Structure 1
Amino acid sequence: MLTVNTTRPVGPAGRISRVETLTLGTAWRDFSYVRIHTDQGLSGVGEITHPYRGRETCSLATAMAERHLIGADPFDVEEIWLRMYQGDFLRGGDVGGIVVSGVDQALYDLMGKALNVPAYRLTGGACRSEVRVYANGWYTGERDPATFAQKAKEVVARGYTALKFDPFGAGLGELSREELRRSVDIVAAVREAVDVDLMVEGHARFAMPTASRLLRELEPYDLAWFEEPLPWTHIERYAELRQRAPMPISGGEHFHNRYEFARLFDTDAVDIIQPDLSMAGGFTEVRKLAVQAEVHAMLVAPHNSNSPLCTTASVHAVLGMANFTILETFDGMLEPYVFEAVRGALPVVDGHIGLPGAPGLGVELVDEVFEEHPPSHRFWNLFAEGWEKRDR
């Protein structure tokens, strides 16, 4: 099972014959992709974006192709997933998790194209006619209540019915009295400015005393959730914090497979899990995580700080999830050429994305645009003063 078997009958996509990677530079971060070709002339794409390690994910994808993909039948998704994970001795971690995820996306793209059906038809079909999304990345600029409030109004005017933001600046561990007041004032200003669902992002940055105080400070503002208030090195304390919380607690974007999620489920750490389709194992794994979440009466709100390709793949993934609630998207803050590079990505209209119709994921990578916008390999430091401006 852990070697490519070329003797079994092959499916309608043929066998994998070539794997390549591409990376696109933007003002915010580089977006990386894997493109898998078969001997039947089909190609499938998946996202392998890492905020800082794009060269590493591309290099590993190429190496994994030689070890586990060339000659394989794309329809053997479970076996390929196991071969990449077990055969490469992955034990979690971001680079390997991202590569497995992107390859898995590309396999579903290939299967959908081979069968001439959208990818979501292969993952449980649809139990909803559209996918609600929330906006993130909209609060670039000065970190003050008035600026956040004005930008929130602008985003809501574009049709979004939910917004997420991090008001805490470069805070880590603790917040000074001044910084805590400033952060809470930002949340208060946004709440006064817009009557939509609001999510506050903690970026796993606070010690227990500060996280606990923030629960009390943020209670008046009717939050849809407070995301990752604690570092995941203290996962057992999430359940303790959650018992005190007047709002739902969410998290899980840092986990890369069911084995890493196990402690989250075992401790009932959150109310809402946030697996990322480009980090947590692709379609094959995220569907299993959703089922486990349902057993624990948890909702699923996938993390997605990636490109419109991951947004599109995530839509396909969540259409059949009964316990899905809402999907993250940064698409509204990206340059127009990003959408030219990932042609066919699903658009956000009035805060929602409709049912896909094209075979597979419906996205094609346009090489010429990638050539015009090479990667920058810049480092976006979440703990540097002014990170929210995203201008470095």
Structure 2
Amino acid sequence: MLTVNTTRPAGPAGRISKVETLQLGTAWRDFGYVRIHTDQGLTGVGEITHPYRVDETCRLAEAMGRRHLLGADPFDVEEVWLRMYQGDFLRGGDIGGIVVSGVDQALYDLMGKALGVPVHRLTGGAARDRVRVYANGWYTGEREPEVFAAKAKETVAKGFTALKFDPFGAGLHELERAELRRSLALVAAVREAVGPEVDLFVEGHARFAMATARRLVHELAPYDIGWFEEPLPWTHIERYAELRQIAPFPISGGEHFHNRYEYKQLFATDAVDIVQPDLSMAGGFTELRKIAAQADAHGMVVAPHNSNSPLCTTASVHAVLGVTNFKILETFDGLLEPYVFEAVRGALPIADGHIGLPTAPGLGIELVDEVFAEHPPTHRFWNMFADGWEKRNRT
């Protein structure tokens, strides 16, 4: 099982004959992709974006392709997943987890194309006609209440019924008094601007000490937020449940875990109310369904994290259509330059805060090499622990 089996008859997609990677530079971050070819002339694509280490994910994807994918049948997804994870001694972690996730997406894309059906027909079908999404990245710029309020109104005017933002600025562990007041003023301004019917989700970026997180739970209570995301570092996962007991709103998290094994402690400690696996980090379609099932068994709903490109947004829509305990999907698509959508041709559009049912075979996306050539990776970095990170200044 840990070696490529070429003795069994291949499925309708044929066997994998080539694995390549591409990178696309944007003003925010570099996006990474894996493209897998078969000897039947089919290609499947997946996203392998890492916020800061796309070079590394691309190199590993190419190396793992040589070790574990060439000659394999794309329909043997469970076996391929295990071969990459166990055979490559990954044992979790971000770079390996992202590569496995992107390869898994590409395999499902190949299967869908070979069968002439959308990927969601292979991952549980559709339990809904459209997927509700929320906007992130809309608040870049000056951290002033009037600025946040105006941008929140603009975003809601586009049809979004839910917004997420990090009001806390730079820093780690604690907030100075002035910073605390400013952060809460931003939340108050956004809530007043959008009214009571719009869901607001507050991001903590896993950076507060317990005492600060405890205070924030109380201070955020008047603003009727939909969840407080990652209030504590995941090195303190055992204290999440303690925070949940005093929170008048749900606690969410999970984007930093890369497979069912890393999720074990989150479920064992009842750390969150809302689980947030990322399709391009948590193991692809193969793992996301298993994680969602575990969440369901623990009375939790699923709101996938997605700070990647429109390819991951589209793939995530396929993934969640059949997840019965799905809540809402994150999107950063409004933050991106128009050429990103030209590079990932066929990405699903957002309309009125929702994404409709996909109909094209596979993921319905093709990578346009010419656009990639025009926009090479930038290797920029923004540090969310430095002043001005919310402006997404690049260095």
1:303 maps to 305
Q: 2:354, 2:318 → 1: CA distance?
A: 13
CA distance in 1, matches of 2:173, 2:380: 25
Please give the residue correspondences for 1:256-271 in structure 2 after superposition, counting only pairs within 5 Å.
Answer: 256-271=258-273
Q: How does 1:170-189 map to 2 (within 5 A)?
A: 170-189=170-189
Q: Report the equivalent of 2:364.
A: 362
Give the TM-score normalised by the residue count of structure 2: 0.99
DSSP-derived class of the 1:57 partner: helix
In structure 1, C-alpha distance between the alignment counterparts of 2:178 and 2:384, rounded to whole Å: 20
Q: TM-score, normalised by structure 1?
A: 1.00
Question: Which residue type is aligned with residue 344 of structure 1?
Answer: G
**Whole-angstrom CA distance in 1 between matches of 2:310 and 2:74:** 23
Q: 2 CA distance for matches of 1:379 and 1:186?
A: 25
Q: What is the aligned partner in structure 1 of residue 217 from structure 2?
A: 215
CA shift digits 1:269-304 (9 cap, x unpaired) = 000000000000000000000000000000000000
Map 1:312-323 → 2, pairs under 5 A = 312-323=314-325
Q: Tell me, what secondary structure is at the counterpart of 1:235?
A: helix
d(CA) in 1 for partners of 2:307 and 2:377?
Answer: 17
Task: State the SS of the aligned residue for 1:20.
Answer: strand
Q: Secondary structure at the match of 1:132?
A: strand
In 1, the alpha carbon distance for the partners of 2:97 and 2:384 equals 21
Tell me the CA shift for residue 382 of structure 1: 1.1
Q: Deviations over 1:315-353 (max 9, x none)?
A: 000000000000000001100000000000000001000
Instruction: Report what 2:121 is aligned to.
Output: 121
What corresponds to 2:194 in structure 1? 194
Aligned positions of 1:1-392 closer than 5 A: 1-195=1-195, 196-392=198-394
Mapped partners of 2:11, 2:18: distance in 1? 17
Distance across 1 between alignment mates of 2:203 and 2:171: 12
SS in 1 for 2:220: helix
**CA deviation profile, 1:204-253 (whole Å, cap 9, x unmatched):** 01000000000000000000000000000000000000101011000000
Query: Distance between the aligned counterparts of 2:350 and 2:3, measured in 1?
Result: 41
Cα separation, 1, equivalents of 2:228 and 2:140: 20
Q: Percent identity?
A: 82
Whole-angstrom distance in 1 between the partners of 2:382 and 2:47: 19
1:376, 1:126 → 2: CA distance?
38
Once residues 55 and 90 of structure 1 are traced to their aligned partners in structure 2, the CA distance between those partners, rounded to angstroms, is 18
Give the number of aligned pairs.
Answer: 392
Instruction: Supply the distance in 2 between the matched residues of 1:291 and 1:171 (Cα, whole angstroms).
Output: 35
Shift of 1:391: 2.7
Give how far 1:171 is off: 2.3
Deviating beyond 3 angstroms after TM superposition, the runs of 4 or more aligned structure 1 residues are none
AA of the residue aligned to 1:156: V
